[in-house]
Amino acid sequence: MNKNSIPPLDYIDAFLPVGRINRAAVQSPQDFSDALKIMDQYHVSEALIYSTLALNDPHLNNEVVCTFDSPRVHKIWAFDPAYVIKESPEQFLERALKNSAKAIMANPLMRDWRVDRSVRLLELAKQLEKRKIPLLLAHRAWDSGQDVIDWYRMIDFCNQFPTLPVITWEWRSRANRPLFDALSQADNLKLILSSIWQSQMVRQLSEAFGAKRLIFSLGLPFLNPGSFHGLVNYAAISQSDKQAIASGNIRRILSEARYE
Amino acid sequence: MNNPKSEIARRFLAGLPLDHIPVIDFHTHMGRSSEYYYIPFNTADCVTAYLNSFGIDHIVTFCINVTTDVAPKNKFVYDLHKNNPERLSPLTAIHAGFPQDWISILDQGYQAGSRGIKILHQYQGVEEDVDFSSALDYARDKNWVALAHNWGTPDRLEHWARNFPTVYFIIGHAATMYKHLVDKYDNVYQCTCASFVEGYFSPIKDMVNCMPVEKIIHGSDALDLDIATSIGPIAFADISEEAREKILGRNAIQLAKRLQRPLPLLRNY
Ligand SMILES: [Zn+2]
Ligand SMILES: [Zn+2]
């Protein structure tokens, strides 16, 4: 096939925020109509969407995303691990699914609770694993974002729920040695691509662990949304691996989840 | 979906090399390892293939991780240059904590074909007010550039730019805080490196709006950052195609001509 005739990749943003946040990129969507516009502008056909409020107030996220309505958009609900909350993780999940949530997120830096020691998160993970509903662990404290994931803890957590799709995100996963260790020891661990900024890492991670580990996102709210397509489509990997990263991997995860 | 009108954006979206225009990358690092990470595909062959995939004609490059001995790290870069002078030009990194080494380090660089000095003192455990005069004095009659990760306050950069008019100062990362100096001094240039990290560095359009576009040059920070992170924001920026072409390569080519050391290009554009 002529290089010029390769069809463009189909992109899904698996972690698209709506709302204001410290140090946001100029184009980061502030409301839902902005989000749809940015998807058009940056060639994203569908998105899993959350409110930036999710990073510090899960309950508010869940109210806000209920107002987002488009066939191109899938809702992310956020979970609060606070032990004293009366609604059980099972009841929470039931309510999320009734409101057509497609993934559940939690922020372990909200602040400094541990995914492997939180009673409620462990219970939620059990419920999610039964249905293979993805858990998005978005690590963000307002004052830190680089290398904030404890990858060795992540190995233990993933191994406790080996068929649960666990997707991690942080502003920048710069330290790659612990990351390699985690990917080598937890098959169900996947990364949002926009945490990976390093040269040729898409090729390196795909060769060592399989392209199924990487899931595309534009990089909002913090990064210029015109950057990460190139990490995929210039990578020295096969066209089918590129398509998997751009949208195939997240499509498969969503199609394997049992939401009913 | 919108179809990009820009040829640069069209190619970027398709993963095609920008081989219809000259592309220079003025801020790159070469090495095998840093404290932060192992560096994948760091060999000369891999780097060349990587540059080819984006259609990059030539890179200005220096070592990575300069918290320890810089001489062996510089040597790694000089060797790459020696084996492939058509594609890579080196800068010489100095350690701000060891000024007694500077002249011999710079001499080694000069012998190896260096085009200037790389400064990264924020990573070298020294105070902001390092006096770089002796290093810049060495550079003044050599048609060299001096590229810093961060020059500190505009007053400090102005002090160097005024006192060393034959040294060309490159502001290493995307910024607008030195815009008056880029405008005022012939020998001050602004690099686009890391512009995609918008909360910390300036977006492309902000820079184009407030300084002469001819003074803005493209840099990626590869092999630290992926080259896509530097080309994408330029490809999609709301600026003219002509401005994109200038930033991606033509401005750096002009700068090298001013330094009387033209950059080799892959073809006649
Ligand atoms: Zn830097
Ligand atoms: Zn750099």
Separation CA A244–CA A10 (nearest Å):
9
Q: How many CB pairs under 8 A join A and B?
A: 129
pLDDT at B1: 43
The pair of structure tokens assigned to A84 is 């004293």
SS3 assignment, position B150: coil
- A22 at interface of B, judged by CB pairs closer than 8 A: yes
What pLDDT band is residue A217 in, cutting at 50, 70 and 90? very high
Separation CA A255–CA B229 (nearest Å):
31
Decide: B185 and B208 in contact? Cβ < 8 Å: no
Omega cis (within 30) before A23: no
Q: With contacts defined as CB-CB under 8 Å, which chain A residues touch B227?
A: 199, 230, 234
Superfamily of domain B7-11+21-258: Metal-dependent hydrolases (3.20.20.140)
Q: Do B229 and A197 touch (CB under 8 A)?
A: yes
Which residue did the predictor score with more confidence, A8 or A71? A71
Q: With contacts defined as CB-CB under 8 Å, which chain B residues touch A42?
A: 236
In 3D space, the residue among A258, A259, A237 whose CA is nearest the CA of residue A248 turns out to be A237
- B38 at interface of A, judged by CB pairs closer than 8 A: yes
Residue type, A155: I
- A161 at interface of B, judged by CB pairs closer than 8 A: no
Decide: B29 and B62 in contact? Cβ < 8 Å: yes
Q: Is the pLDDT of residue A194 over 80?
A: yes
Decide: B82 and B112 in contact? Cβ < 8 Å: yes
Q: What's the DSSP call for residue B90?
A: E
Q: The CATH number of the domain where A10 resides is what?
A: 3.20.20.140
Ligand 2 centre from A43 Cα, in Å?
30
Give the rounded percent of residues in chain A with a pLDDT score beyond 90.
96
Ligand 1 centre from B213 Cα, in Å?
21
Helices A151-160/A176-185 angle, 10° precision: 10
Q: Do A40 and B2 touch (CB under 8 A)?
A: yes
- What confidence tens digit (pLDDT) does each residue in B176-235 have? 999 999 999 999 999 999 999 999 999 999 999 999 999 999 999 999 999 999 999 999
Separation CA A151–CA A149 (nearest Å):
6
- What confidence tens digit (pLDDT) does each residue in A146-189 have? 999 999 999 999 999 999 999 999 999 999 999 999 999 999 99
Min Cα separation A63/chain B (Å): 27
Q: With contacts defined as CB-CB under 8 Å, which chain B residues touch A4?
A: 14, 16
In the predicted model, what is the mean pLDDT of residues A238-242? 98
Nearest to A226 among B37, B54, B233 (CB): B233
Q: With contacts defined as CB-CB under 8 Å, which chain A residues touch B28?
A: none
Task: Enumerate the β-bridge partners of residue B170.
Answer: B147, B189
What pLDDT band is residue B2 in, cutting at 50, 70 and 90? low
Nearest to A197 among B41, B225, B236 (CB): B225
Q: Do B199 and A219 touch (CB under 8 A)?
A: no
Q: Is the pLDDT of residue A4 over 90?
A: no
- What confidence tens digit (pLDDT) does each residue in A25-39 have? 999 999 999 999 999
The pair of structure tokens assigned to B1 is 């979906």
How far CA B39 is from CA of A174, B47, B132, B148, in Å, comes to 11, 11, 30, 22
The domain segmentation of chain B, as residue ranges, is: 7-11+21-258
Find, in chain B, the residue whose alpha carbon is nearest to that of A45.
Answer: B1
Separation CA B251–CA A31 (nearest Å):
38
How far CA A121 is from CA of A118, A131, A161, A245, B112, in Å, comes to 5, 15, 12, 28, 58
The pair of structure tokens assigned to A220 is 């909002």
**Degrees, nearest 5: CA angle B100-B101-B105:** 150
Which runs of consecutive H residues, i.e. helices, occur in B43-101? 44-54, 71-83
Number of domains in chain A: 1
pLDDT at A7: 76
Q: With contacts defined as CB-CB under 8 Å, which chain A residues touch B10?
A: none
Nearest to B1 among A4, A40, A219 (CB): A40
State the pTM of this model.
0.97
Average pLDDT, chain B: 96
Helix H, strand E, coil C: the string for chain A is CCHHHCCCCCEEEEEEEECCCCCCCCCCCCCHHHHHHHHHHCCEEEEEEEEHHHHCCHHHHHHHHCCCCCCCEEEEEECCCCCCCCCCHHHHHHHHHHCCEEEEEECCCCCCCCCCCCHHHHHHHHHHHHHCCCEEEECCECCECECCCCHHHHHHHHHHCCCCCEEEECCECCCHHHHHHHHHHCCCEEEEHHHCCECCHHHHHHHHHCHHHEECCCCCCCECCCCHHHHHHCCCCCHHHHHHHHHHHHHHHHHHCCCC
**Degrees, nearest 5: CA angle B38-B44-B45:** 105
Phi, psi of B62 (to 5 degrees): -150, 175
Q: Which domain holds residue A209?
A: 3-256
Q: With contacts defined as CB-CB under 8 Å, which chain A residues touch B41?
A: 199-200, 203-204
- A208 at interface of B, judged by CB pairs closer than 8 A: no
Ligand 2 centre from B29 Cα, in Å?
6
Decide: B42 and B81 in contact? Cβ < 8 Å: no
Separation CA B62–CA B48 (nearest Å):
16
Nearest to A174 among B2, B14, B36 (CB): B36
Spell out the residues 6+ positions from residue A5 whose beta carbon is closer than 8 angstroms to its own: none
- A1 at interface of B, judged by CB pairs closer than 8 A: no
Find, in chain A, the residue whose alpha carbon is nearest to that of B196.
Answer: A224
- What confidence tens digit (pLDDT) does each residue in B43-79 have? 999 999 999 999 999 999 999 978 999 999 999 999 9
What pLDDT band is residue A69 in, cutting at 50, 70 and 90? very high
